[in-house]
Structure 1
Amino acid sequence: MINKTIPLSVPNLSLEILENVKETIETGWVSTGGRFIQEFENKMAKYVGMERAIACQSGTAGLHLALKVLGVEHDDEVIVPTLTFIAAVNPIKYMGAEPVFMDCDDSLNMDMDKLEEFLEYECEFVGGQVINKKSKKVIKAIIVVHVFGNPANMERLMKIKLKYNLKVLEDATEALGSFYLEGEYVNRHCGTIGDIGVYSFNANKIITTGGGGMVVSNQLELLEEIAFLSSQAKTDPLYFVHDNVGYNYRMTNIQAAFGTDQIDRLEHFIETKEKNYNLYKEAIENIEGLTILPFRADTRANYWFYSIIIDKEKYGVDRDRLLKTLNECNIQTRPLWGLIHKQKPYLNNQGYKIDKAYYYEQNLLNIPCSSNLISEDIKIVIKELKKFTVEMMRGN
């Protein structure tokens, strides 16, 4: 066991944030009003190249609001990946709608071949709407997740969107800072291409406000509606007139005080994470039975999470044995999420030709990747990974 804990993914905070926090305390603006909220929104919009951004309580809240303003209704269906964190799917249930699960490709993102095949052969396009032949329900939207900061194939997806008149909601909660280097969307950030994009600032994300999220869109009327709904739908805030059911989904000023500092450090964080990824990659290429998943070469990814694949036959132990051993010696690692179509609330929902996702669920391991991870820590992780080879196991 090593004499320190190497965490999986923790915040990279500076004490300079304290000046912002001190101001919120001195002014009393610690809740859902105050200058830092608008400042953070403006900085986010500028960073991702959008005209406006709306801060909210969490990435999940942002996804919920996005589905509502995109017109998803009770008994509609929304196509989602099964390989994702469950927060990408639960908001569909909040709306009284149902998910239809898609498989992943080798980038861990939604398989666009299977998506198009499903829409062509398992659905009907009637009166401008996609009807699921099996359920007879209207499919309104697709939620695409940029898994671990690796950009999904948005060029392909947007062609599918236009062909089938579907809404596209980008879950970019893991992908702040990732953008495209080639193709139709060159220099466009993840989250800025579909109808609406959502980001998260949870403590394990590349920048953090402790909690919180942000919503962006090229359709400013949608953002106006999101801002309205997120603050209890006050039509007249002076006389407390509410013409709709709203939500308490606004970000607090004290959270935004963190965000305005964190976003200024984002490019440095990405630079460090890319450097550390390459250190891992160089070493893992020489360990028989281990592969580190690549990021798309035609993108500038944010390198949020590092994933390794374990080939038990070549490496000598399986993923679960490696997971247990590393955590026992204070190297925090985690498996992939349990596939969502296998979770109890979704056992009766439709999945389409899910196959590859099972492989990654069983063989993938996430290893330490914080933006304040130092090279000495990486060397420790690599040393532990090298202990499990076929030769070592035979020697025992």
Structure 2
Amino acid sequence: MNRQWITFATAIKELYQKDFVPLHEPTFNELELDYVTDCIQSGWVSSVGKYVDRFEKELAEFTGVKRAVAVVNGTAALHIALKVAGVQANEEVFMPSLTFIATANATTYLQAIPHFVDVSEETLGLDPFMLEEHIKDIGEMKNGQLMNKKTGRVIRAVVPMHTFGHPVDIDPLIELCERYNLVLVEDAAESLGSYYKGKHTGGFGRVSALSFNGNKIMTTGGGGAILTNDDKLADYAKHLTTTAKVPHRWEYEHDEVGFNYRMPNINAALGCAQLHKVATFIEQKRQLTQFYEKLVMCIDGVTLFKEPTNTKGNYWLQSLILEQNFSRDTVLEFLNENGVMSRPIWTPMDELSPYKHMPKAELIVTKQLKNTLINIPSTPLKVK
């Protein structure tokens, strides 16, 4: 590697003041300790306690939706979101191939079929215009439902994923869903604190999912949440995620197969503290973006991915786009060996063993980004 990359790696280690800089670490201080200690002292550390209700209320207020239902992780959130949105077995669900595997897994838990479509270079998320062309090619309306002519199955939903916290171009997707009677379910796992035309992600779909894994913009340790503006769907999601137990003072009655997905109170306590800091985290990430933007100007053939027009992203993970003549793996090897953790974007879903035989569109941009996009350290910090 040339001197430009050596300068790049050195500058990052100096910024973070570490010999090895992780990709993304959680940030805690006394507030988290106070809340978690209070939770422990209360004795209510599991699925009952004041912090769960408080976290749901404050999360709904932060994201601008009517209701939030806290669960154990983002995959569980998406699983239940798809279920309450009406996705059923043997129905197809449009989603990007370029996503974390949870998007496809959550669909498969319902015995539904992931149907992979391409992404946009401008957003890194699902491309509504390419999706429309694909629908014209393989779809037809019958009795008010979109059918896949090639498989004979109903296509029920569209799941856009806001990649690395950057909102997809969602207005055309909403119009597409209305025209073809598709349910919009947002995979907003990475986009807490991100906005499309001034509105928080997760507020556009009939129901949406967030993640609070340890590497996200904020964390509850493990955790996720379902967002919706529909009270009935929220009540149903809460019922399902608490083993579908019918409320009673002492009896254990369950009226359908439910899931033990409720977020523990101790995790919600951590979340309440972290939620207070999200605005600060995002401001620091935007400062980090400016730092990287100047730094990559010194490397020929490399650009920093910036938020799309009409959006304000949380810049959860900073992303470099390499020109085609670069060897992605050579860059990754150099950075990791020189103390800067970096990674490629996910292997596209259609290339993974469980999903390689699923229906798909042409995935030109997906394949291009697989070979040219890498993530670099993104832990928020104050940049001087």
TM-score range for the pair, normalised by the shorter chain length: over 0.9
TM-superposed deviation, 1:283: 2.2
Asked whether 1:28 is paired with 2:40, we answer no
Asked whether 1:190 is paired with 2:187, we answer no
Asked whether 1:220 is paired with 2:231, we answer yes
Give the Cα separation in 2 of the matches to 1:281 and 1:221: 45
Give the Cα separation in 2 of the matches to 1:320 and 1:9: 20
TM-superposed deviation, 1:27: 1.4
TM-superposed deviation, 1:95: 0.5
Question: Is the Cα–Cα contact under 8 Å of residues 102 and 353 in structure 1 kept in the other structure?
Answer: yes
Give the Cα separation in 2 of the matches to 1:34 and 1:326: 45
TM-superposed deviation, 1:180: 2.2
TM-superposed deviation, 1:19: 1.2
Asked whether 1:86 is paired with 2:109, we answer no
Cα deviation 1:149-186 (Å, max 9, x = unaligned): 110111010000100111010011100001123xxxxx
Asked whether 1:342 is paired with 2:351, we answer yes
Give the Cα separation in 1 of the matches to 2:66 and 2:202: 13
1:368 equivalent in structure 2? 377
Give the Cα separation in 2 of the matches to 1:267 and 1:278: 17
TM-superposed deviation, 1:374: 5.0
Question: Is the Cα–Cα contact under 8 Å of residues 17 and 261 in structure 1 kept in the other structure?
Answer: yes
Cα deviation 1:179-216 (Å, max 9, x = unaligned): 123xxxxx210000111111110011000011101111
Q: Which SS does the other structure have where 1:283 is aligned?
A: helix
Asked whether 1:200 is paired with 2:245, we answer no
Q: Which SS does the other structure have where 2:191 is aligned?
A: coil
Q: Which runs of 5+ in 1 are unaligned?
A: 182-186, 376-396
- Within 5 Å, give how 1:1-396 maps onto structure 2: 4-106=19-121, 107-181=123-197, 187-237=198-248, 238-311=250-323, 313=325, 317-372=326-381, 374=383
Structure 1's 112 and 312: CA in aligned 2 closer, same or farther, altered over 3 A?
Answer: closer
2:3 equivalent in structure 1? none
Question: Is the Cα–Cα contact under 8 Å of residues 50 and 192 in structure 1 kept in the other structure?
Answer: yes
Amino acid of the structure 1 residue aligned with 2:314: N
Q: Which SS does the other structure have where 2:140 is aligned?
A: strand
Question: Is the Cα–Cα contact under 8 Å of residues 236 and 242 in structure 1 kept in the other structure?
Answer: no
Question: Is the Cα–Cα contact under 8 Å of residues 309 and 364 in structure 1 kept in the other structure?
Answer: yes
Question: Is the Cα–Cα contact under 8 Å of residues 287 and 383 in structure 2 kept in the other structure?
Answer: no
Question: Is the Cα–Cα contact under 8 Å of residues 202 and 211 in structure 1 kept in the other structure?
Answer: yes
Amino acid of the structure 2 residue aligned with 1:282: K
Give the Cα separation in 1 of the matches to 2:128 and 2:82: 21
Give the Cα separation in 2 of the matches to 1:340 and 1:302: 24
Q: Which runs of 5+ in 2 are unaligned?
A: 1-9
Amino acid of the structure 1 residue aligned with 2:51: F
Give the Cα separation in 2 of the matches to 1:373 and 1:5: 18
Question: Is the Cα–Cα contact under 8 Å of residues 56 and 215 in structure 1 kept in the other structure?
Answer: yes
Question: Is the Cα–Cα contact under 8 Å of residues 218 and 271 in structure 2 kept in the other structure?
Answer: yes
- Across the aligned residues of Structure 1 and Structure 2, the Cα RMSD in angstroms comes to 1.3
Question: Is the Cα–Cα contact under 8 Å of residues 287 and 382 in structure 2 kept in the other structure?
Answer: no
TM-superposed deviation, 1:93: 0.7
Q: Which SS does the other structure have where 1:144 is aligned?
A: coil
Give the Cα separation in 2 of the matches to 1:236 and 1:260: 26
Amino acid of the structure 2 residue aligned with 1:339: P
TM-superposed deviation, 1:110: 0.7
1:388 equivalent in structure 2? none
Give the Cα separation in 1 of the matches to 2:99 and 2:257: 29
Give the Cα separation in 1 of the matches to 2:243 and 2:74: 18
